[in-house]
Amino acid sequence: MAERGNEKIIDWLEIDLGKLSGMERVGLIIEVMETLSAQELRTIRDNAEQGRQSKLKEAKTSVIAEMKQKFGELDLTLEEVLEMEGNKRSKRSSTSPIKAKYRSPEGDTWSGRGRIPVWLKKLEEQGHKREEYKAE
C-alpha cells in the first residue's frame, strides 16, 4: 500500500477497513477507480489479477489440506476415493446399449432417439419410408 512518510494511506485518511463490509470496500474501490487514468486502471487490473491468482492458490492449498485430513480420519487415500467414484460411473455405463431400431442397407444403425441420422434422411428424401429400415 502507498505510504505518506511511514504512514499507510488508510491510517492518514482514518479509514478502518475492518469496519467496512465487503460491498462497502468494493464501493470504495470503485469510487477511487473513477478518478484514475487508463494506465492506472491497467495497473489496478494487473495487481487485482495477481491477487486473485494468489487467493485461488491459497484456497486450493487449504481445500487439499482439509481433504487430506478428512481422508486420514477415514483411513482413505485420494486414489481410493477416486476409485470409489469410478465404480459408480462404471455401473452406469455398464448398462446395455440402446437397441437399434433402424438399420441402413450398409449396416448403419439408429436407436430412434435423438437426431435423425444423415443416412436415413437421405433415404427418406429419395422417397423411402422409415419403416422399410426397421431392425428386426
Domain range summary for the chain, segments of one domain joined by +: 3-93, 102-133
Structural element, H or E, at residue 57: helix 38-73
* 1 has a pLDDT exceeding 60: no
What's the pTM value of the predicted model, to 2 decimals? 0.47
Q: Which three cell numbers stand for residue 127?
A: 422417397
Span 55-99, pLDDT tens digits: 999 999 999 999 989 988 988 888 888 887 766 555 555 667 888
Q: Which residues contact 71 (CB under 8 A, 6 or more apart)?
A: 77, 78, 81
